[in-house]
Structure formats: structure tokens, C-alpha cells
Amino acid sequence: MRKILSIIVVSLLLNGNAYSNDIYSQENRKKSEIKINCKINWIMKFANQDGLHASKYDTSDLPKMINDPKLPGFIVETNLNSRPVWINRVAVKADENWREELSIIRFEQANEKDFVVVRKYNIDYTTKSTKGEDYSFSIDTSIHLPKSDFKGKNIPFNILEADIEDIDLNLKRIKENFNSTSKSYGGCNKIDPKNFEFEETVVQNEIRIAEYEAKKEKELLNKKKEELNKANITEGKFELNCKDGVLYKAGRNPEPFDDTLNRLVDINNQSYTGLNIKSEDIHYLISTELDNFGNVFLEYRFDEISAQIIVYGRDLGELSVATAQSFSKFLYQDTKKKLDDVNKRIDNYKLQKDSLGNYDYKVSNLGTQIQEFEKFEIVRSLINIIRNTNVTKVTSAIYKCNKI
């Protein structure tokens, strides 16, 4: 809950796209005839910020419904049938602005410095809110979008400081592929012109208080995280954080991507738990030393659909992934037999199945590290065979990571 509230608080601060055109000037803002004070009453969260839809198996960010989030208000100023709109004095171009409704789509700063979100505002002038305010409204919030994804006339380019033309071009693409992570609902009251200055001051004070509380909350979380890290290190547990990934596929240029990979690694037990999605599942690693890599942790995964190996170079601070897909039934059966032959030599070994009932081969803690490395080499050999036969069926990725 804290995460989604902090995202909204950031956007309510005085930031966003500012326009220099005369019709979007502060002088015209002061002349606007419609002035309303809006407040979010509740939020429905139906997807995570990574864009993965929430489900009964995902309890990492409950509650999904947030009542009375106690967020700062925001003031909207505009005129009927007019494109210019101001949200907390920041100019934006209306998508629709009629007697019945006002629709706005704009880029706003996310709670991560290198990301933005897109928000779709819809104010319904014909319907009161559930709490009795003069008008009802809703806000759809997109997944986090890397600032680097957006292009314009200027280099370097910042979508939050772009002109109308560049914003419209970038929004056109976003509208066609909009993925919403939450929907906020609330109400707006008309502002008496005589009280406008007072109501604006109240909203600005609410924003300042929210900003201060968000800062203190972040400091507290960082302190708790630092204390937890110290305790984990004492137990031989270290966070592995990998980012700045680059995807490699035959016939295509290398493609940077923004997904991160985060784990809590137990170097004593050669195991880890994932941190991207909160889970108690323990995954096991092969600890060894390889030429050109030094000390490494290895993983393999194999099923009917794909084969994958992962190499994390502890000395290099680099994690490499190679994945092969769409291989023949013969290769699947041949590789499965080789893996099964090794597993037969492991006491009490029981082959795991995935959620669909398919056999799922991965590193186990039942055998020796030598036996697990033997299985790693079997999967690696399969990927090399597929690469030599049809290189387009193998993709690779490399992340930059911290060293542990």
C-alpha cells in the first residue's frame, strides 16, 4: 500500500509537463472559469508496478483495495470546450473537455527517478461522487515506463519537459498500448472564487506534509533494510541485485531492457529466495570455479518447452542467461534420459513437476555439487546443439550485478 501511495504523492507535487504557449500561460490560468478541488477517496489496485496482473497467488502488495488513502487534494482549472487545463498550476492539454466531462492524459514522475507513469484523468460533471462531492472522477495509472523509451526533438530528451508536439507523438503510442495498474476514484467540489486562494493554500500544505511524511517513511524503510542486511550478512546471506540488462538475439541489435533481477543469496547453503516477487520458495545453486569467470554460481532449468542456464560471476559482478526454446521431441527425450540417469544415482531424489503437471528439472540440494554440475553440463550441451542448428532459437541476456 505504501508503494502505490508514494507514487501518487510524487505526482501531486508541482511537476509534470509545462507548456510555454500563451494559451497555457499562468495569466490564462488565472482567468479560467472552472475551478474545482478534487480528492481521491479510494483506490483499486489490480496489477503490480511491473505490469504483472495480481492474482490469489500474489499477496506481496495487499490490500488490493485501499479506502480513504488520505492523499493530498489537487486543484483543476480550465474552461469549457478548451484544451488548456491546469492541475496544481501545471499546464496540460485536455484530451476531451465538454459540458459533460473533462478527460486528461499526461505523463507524471513515478516514484523511481528514471521512470514515469501515464495517468488518465476523467472528471464527470453529470454525476456526484459516492461521498456527495459535486462531481465524480477516476484516474487510471499505467505501469512504470522508462524515461529513455521516449524520443523528441531535443537531445537529451525529458518527456516531463517536452513541448505539446513531442508529448502528443509519444502519447499516441501509449494510448494504443495502455496497461493500467490501478484505478483511483474520488470527488471534486466547485471552488468559490472568493475562497480560491485559501483552498489552494490548503492543498499546497497537504502536499508539503505528504512529501515530508513520504521522506520520513523512506528513511525509516532504508534504516530497517540496512539493519536487515547487516543481520543477513552475519548469517552468510547477501542481496544480489542485477540491472542494466542487454538482450542478444541472432539477426537483431543488442536490446537494453529495464527489468531487474533481485535475490537473497545464502552462500553457506548455496541457495536463494527471489526478491522481485515475495515468495518463500528456496532455489538451489551450484558453487564452483570456471575458466574466464572465476568463482561462480550456476543454475539450470529444463522442461518440454525450454532449456536455460544461468551463470553468475561472483568476481566479475555479471549474470548471464542463455535460453533455448522449440526443440525437437528427440532432443527433449535424449536430454531427459541423460538427466534421469544422473538422478538415479541420487538417494531419495524425486522429480518435481510444475503447476501444469510437466516434469521440471532444476538444481536440487539432494545430490552432490558434482552431480548437479554434471546436469548443468547436460543442459548446456543441449543449448549449444540448438544454437549450432538454428541460432534464432537461442536468446541470451547479460546483467550487471553487485559482487558477493
What secondary structure does DSSP assign to 318-335, as a single string? EEEEEEEES--HHHHHHH
pLDDT at 343 over 50: yes
290-313 burial, b at 16+ Cβ within 10 Å, e below that, comes to eeebeebbbbbbbbeeebbbbbbb
Average pLDDT of span 25-30: 93
Q: Which letter does DSSP use for residue 47 in this model?
A: B
* Least-confidence region, from 67-76, 335-344, 356-365: 356-365
* Least-confidence region, from 57-66, 142-151, 277-286: 57-66
Average pLDDT of span 345-368: 86
Q: What SS3 state is found at 139?
A: strand
Convert the pLDDT of each residue in 212-266 to its tens digit: 998 898 899 889 888 887 888 888 899 999 998 999 998 888 988 878 899 999 9
Write down the pLDDT at residue 119: 94
- Percent of the residues in the chain that have a pLDDT greater than 90, as a whole number: 58
Write down the pLDDT at residue 57: 39
Dihedral angle computed from the Cα positions of residues 238, 244, 245 and 249, in that order, rounded to the nearest 10 degrees: -160
Convert the pLDDT of each residue in 267-289 to its tens digit: 999 999 988 776 778 999 999 98
Residue 355 banded pLDDT, cuts 50, 70, 90: low
Contact 146, 117 (CB under 8 A): no
Write down the pLDDT at residue 21: 58
Whole-angstrom distance, CA of residue 9 vs CA of residue 15: 11
| Cell numbers found for residue 207 | 502536499
Q: Which residues pair with 101 in a beta bridge?
A: 124
Q: Where are the domains of the chain?
A: 2-223, 235-401
> Which residue in this structure is represented by grid cell 472522477?
137
* Cis, peptide link before residue 156, omega less than 30° from 0: yes
User: Residue 350: CB partners within 8 Å, gap ≥ 6?
Assistant: none
Average pLDDT of span 193-217: 93
Q: What SS3 state is found at 190?
A: strand
Average pLDDT of span 329-347: 95
Write down the pLDDT at residue 16: 52
Whole-angstrom distance, CA of residue 254 vs CA of residue 258: 13
Write down the pLDDT at residue 14: 42
Whole-angstrom distance, CA of residue 345 vs CA of residue 274: 29
> Which residue in this structure is represented by grid cell 498550476?
89
Whole-angstrom distance, CA of residue 76 vs CA of residue 90: 9
182-202 burial, b at 16+ Cβ within 10 Å, e below that, comes to bebbbbbbebeeeeeeebbee
- Percent of the residues in the chain that have a pLDDT greater than 70, as a whole number: 90
pLDDT at 185 over 50: yes
Whole-angstrom distance, CA of residue 235 vs CA of residue 268: 8
Whole-angstrom distance, CA of residue 111 vs CA of residue 363: 36
Q: Where are the alpha helices (DSSP H) in 182-323?
A: 196-234
pLDDT at 85 over 70: yes
* Cis, peptide link before residue 254, omega less than 30° from 0: no
- Ramachandran angles phi, psi of 160, nearest 5°: -75, -10
Contact 159, 152 (CB under 8 A): yes
Average pLDDT of span 300-327: 94
How much is the pTM?
Answer: 0.62
| Cell numbers found for residue 322 | 542463455
Write down the pLDDT at residue 348: 87
Burial of residue 269, with CB atoms counted within 10 A of its CB: 0-12 exposed, 13-18 middle, 19 or more buried: middle
pLDDT at 168 over 50: yes
